[in-house]
Structure 1
Amino acid sequence: MIEYKSPDQIRLMRRAGLVVADIHDALRENIAAGMTTKDLDAIALEVLESAGATSNFYGYYGYPGQICTSVNDVVVHGIPGERELQPGDLVSLDCGAVLDGWHGDAAFTVVLPGGDEAVRAERERLSKITRESMWVGIAAMANGKRVNDIGSAIDDFITELPEDKQPDILRDYVGHGIGSSMHQEPDVLNYRVRGRSPKLKNGMVLCIEPMLAAGDQATKVLDDDWTVVTTDGSDSAHWEHMVAKHSQGIWVLTARDGGAEGLAPFGITPVPL
């Protein structure tokens, strides 16, 4: 069952979303080569505790971290630990918060300065395309009629790129509904499929989160039962925002500006409640 939120509940989710935005800001400000992924986890925990929030990742089916720290060929669910970040690394950081029983969830990718210039340029390009595809999907949530319109828009955006420059869209990991629990119906695909899907209705809150691989989209899970890597060892990037649809429009709950900058190229103005 899809959980439809009232305006007051969306406002509560905005509070959780802003805690996630605070985590992102702190990570962006502090991340550097030489740090471990465990150091990043500690930064996130400090932000959570100062906000009176908890991580919705920690303890989820036994997950041991506050956030997910996925480096280079790690797609998602990278467990924070002793891995030391290197110059030029591509790092995807998936973060969540629970505040007053409502969940927030968003991810971003950063490429560290230094390292091989050509490798770093390709990683920055992959992150940029992934971020742009996320905003394409968010715009489709504003203008579309059904949930699968989001994935169709993302798919079209990728396939319109030059063929030799197209990243591959991961099929095994998709977006989701969110609210009083972290993962809810409906699934939010990042690619085009046939068939009908739920209508986009007021009160829906969705996590739109494309994951793109520089090589092939096939993945495998490592022996820790969490870490997902590309089978061919190619880099992967991950961007995500939590978006509410309501009677007056859409509101990107995990973006500090509500999504204004990201949606401006589409002629869409987010509407806060």
Structure 2
Amino acid sequence: MTELEKHFAVIGNPIHHSLSPQIHSAFAKEVGLHIDYEAILSPLDEFKNTIHQLIAQKVSGANVTLPFKKEAYELASQHSNHARIAEAVNTLEFKNDEIIGHNTDGIGLVRDLEQNLNVDLKSKKILLIGAGGAAEGVIYSMLEKKPSELILTNRTIEKSNVIQNKMDVHAKSFDVNLNVIEIAKCPHQYFDVIINATSAGLNNTELGIDHKVFHEGSLAYEMVYGKETFFIEQAQSQGSKTSDGLGMLVEQAAEAFFIWHLIKPQTKSVIESLKGF
């Protein structure tokens, strides 16, 4: 390591599976930067201490993954607009004794859909399955693209209602119909894009959603990456196009890279190189 080399990290628990070090190293190589980027396992009750140790070590920034995004939000002294709305942080900047929190997840999802998968979200009808942190992290970015309708569904409908109430003012400002329907009633409508933001893909459990929700011409997007989930299999059986969340992972990393370095890296070659990992 040289004196000029900047230091970064990704923090999570677990963290051994993280592709972030490979992604950021590839970005840095592409644009000619020398950085050091490592994966750090933080004990579940030691996140704040982990961050302060990194600051003491002159680390410039950190990505934050599960289960620490809410804690990162609470720890930050300043927040970007996306982080404030999501009430979650996945990217930290350590700057002038301040901890600045950003959320790049929604930006990453939208860029993957629009730039890599060629789906223009404007005036489209979107179904978002899930009402946890993953859904909260991306919903505002989708509203910004002005789909005609964004429908929320979840096994626990009350959780979807909470998100709807929280996001309703933003939906109105973007002229988007934001509605909630029970997961069992999803087949009665046509959707251009169906996004699985639940954790079902991690342990490959069924969502309880009818096959009829998927159609030829729809895109089914699974936020989990690197595995053939039940959601993907369901969608393919009905002729839908499908994608996993690898592109979202790389695109949200590219936005974090831009926040830290003010350079926008190319992403398509990195996405291609990671397929199969």
- What TM-score do the two structures reach when normalised by structure 1? 0.27
- What TM-score do the two structures reach when normalised by structure 2? 0.26
Larger proportion of helix: 2
Max Rg structure: 2
Structure with more contact order per residue of length (Cα contacts < 8 Å, sep ≥ 6): 1
